[in-house]
Amino acid sequence: METGNDNGSMPMNVTETALDSIEVLDLTHYLAGPFCTKLFADFGADVVKVEKPGEGDGARRLGPFPDDEPHPEASGLFLYLNTNKRSMTLNLKTGTGRRIIKQLVRSADVVVENFRPGVMDSLGLGWDTLSSINPRLVMTSISNFGQTGPYRDYKASDLIHYGLSGFSYLNGDGVGEPLKGPSSQSQYHAGMLGFIATMCAIMARRATGEGQYVDVSILEAVCAIIQPTILRAVMTGSPSRRASVPRAYPSDFFQCKDGHIYLYAPREPDWTHLVTALGLNPELANDPRFSTGHLRSQNAGQVRELLTPQLMNRDRETIFNELKDWGVVSGMVLNTEDLFRSEHLNERGFFVDVEHEHTGKLRYPGAPFRMTETPWRVRSPAPTLGQHNYEILHAKLGYTQNEIVRWRQAGII
């Protein structure tokens, strides 16, 4: 079978999904937990997302919103993270709410939650209770610092995770303060690791018939991301402090006519090719000041002076393509507008159109990877709050219309 699902959308004859036999009871909110359960949902699992009555997942309030008009059904973050999931509202602090959760646990394969450690236990929904209801259950808890340890009850944010993992220390120009990355990278790391560990537990269950408890810490997820960098710091005794000039040069950003480009030519033959491609005298490549990546780093200012005029009269795309022909690696600094307009990404069909009753049709980022047999797919947009209450409470669990109406009045759902 060809690898080219070139337009990214689903071929008509492949409706198979990999995870459709898996039922996930999703108690998560905000980003890390929902990104974990998004991976399940987008590859076919039946994910039931439990939200607080009235307010729902806090991500519904974060936006971005079309025209900056807040609306709980139009939050960009929520819409992106919650494709393919069903929503039911349930107040977990009520006896009825907890009873319903326990009923759903009976047939669930997985429960994922990202409350503060101790919350599930205080609700009477801890691992001991749930696993006794369903010994095959995999329960995954994602938290800031894990379920154990001296920082267990500490508060956190992406900035704090970047700091404690050693990641911030690497970022910045060495003059200003250390930097975190854009958005909330640490949340995404923990979401992916939560998915990985949960899937491994599901694989283990095939052999043992039993479930288990999975404890993922956002801090450890970030440490895992820079695991070799940490080991290098430990073994060399040197912490890889951020610097304004990299040690092997050039591997840095340069301004050009219409923006910036990252040039990577720390070794030969790339440096000579770079110099030639930019129309400079190839002899310059052999100038003693510039003859190794190390020397070029020490004379970085002069390297910049040399290259800049040739870069400033070319646009990013021209430089990128010229260097590509020489086999020299570079990267254009693209912003979100550039990405949506990218010929490469559009030919790959990376962006997908998703229709939603409140926002209409919008383009979303698409598949994290292409699979030939069990492709990624948006079967349904993010759910509205409690959209599937009736479907789940009546059709699946057998409660009557009357009961459902009473519960809504009582704020139980």
Partner 1 sequence: MSILSLEGVRVIDLTQAWAGTFATCILADMGAEIIKIEARNRPDMWRGPIAPEMAAVSPHGYPGGEPGQRPYNRSSLFHGVNRNKRGITLDLAATEGIAIFKELVKIGDVVAENFTPRVMSNFGLDYAALREINPAIIMLSMPAYGTTGPYKDCRGVGGSVEPMSGMSSMMGYADGPPMNHGAMYPDPVAGMMAASALLIALYHQRRTGVGQFIDLSQQETTMLMLGEALMDYSMNKRVRKRQGNHHQFMAPHQNYRCRGEDDWIAISVSSDEEWRQLLKVMGEPAWARDEKFATNIARLDNEAELNRYLEEWTINNDKYDLMHRLQQNGVPAGSVLRTSEVVDDPHLEARGYIEELHYDDIGKYKTPGLAWKMSATPGRIWRTAPGLGQDSESVLTELLGITRAEYEKLVKNKITGEEPIEP
Which 336-365 positions form the footprint of partner 1 (CB under 8 A)? 336-340, 343-345, 347-348, 350, 359, 362-365
**Of 94-102, 104-112, 227-235, 401-409: span binding partner 1 (CB under 8 A):** 227-235
- For position 79 contacting partner 1 by CB under 8 A, the verdict is yes
Whose Cβ is closer to partner 1: residue 3's or residue 402's?
Answer: 3
- Residue 331: strand, helix, or coil: strand
HSE, CB side, 13 Å, CA atoms: give it for residue 239: 9
Q: Which of 172, 287, 317, 322 binds partner 1 (CB under 8 A)?
A: 172
- For position 183 contacting partner 1 by CB under 8 A, the verdict is yes
Pair 381, 354: CB distance under 8 Å: yes
Question: What single letter denotes the amino acid at residue 172?
Answer: G
Burial annotation 367-398 (CB, 10 A radius, 16+ → b, else e)? beebeeeebbbbebbbbebbbbbeebbeebee
Q: Is 320 left (phi over 0), alpha (psi -120 to 50) or beta?
A: alpha
- For position 126 contacting partner 1 by CB under 8 A, the verdict is no
What is the smallest separation between the CB atom of 383 and partner 1, expressed in angstroms? 17
> Residues in contact with partner 1, total (CB under 8 A)?
149
- For position 72 contacting partner 1 by CB under 8 A, the verdict is no
Q: Which of 27, 39, 108, 110 binds partner 1 (CB under 8 A)?
A: 39
Cα-based distances in Å from 57 to 51, 153, 304, 369, 402: 6, 22, 49, 27, 26
Q: Which of 24, 56, 120, 167 binds partner 1 (CB under 8 A)?
A: 167
Q: Residue 115 is encoded by which pair of tokens?
A: 């409350």
- For position 294 contacting partner 1 by CB under 8 A, the verdict is yes
Closest alpha carbon to 116 in 78, 142, 150: 142
- For position 372 contacting partner 1 by CB under 8 A, the verdict is yes
Which string of x and - marks every residue 383-412 that binds partner 1 (by CB under 8 A)?
------------------------------
- For position 301 contacting partner 1 by CB under 8 A, the verdict is no
- For position 374 contacting partner 1 by CB under 8 A, the verdict is yes
Which string of x and - marks every residue 184-223 that binds partner 1 (by CB under 8 A)?
-x--xx--xx-xxx-xxxxxx-xxx-xxxxxxxx-xxx-x
CA 43 to chain centre: 15
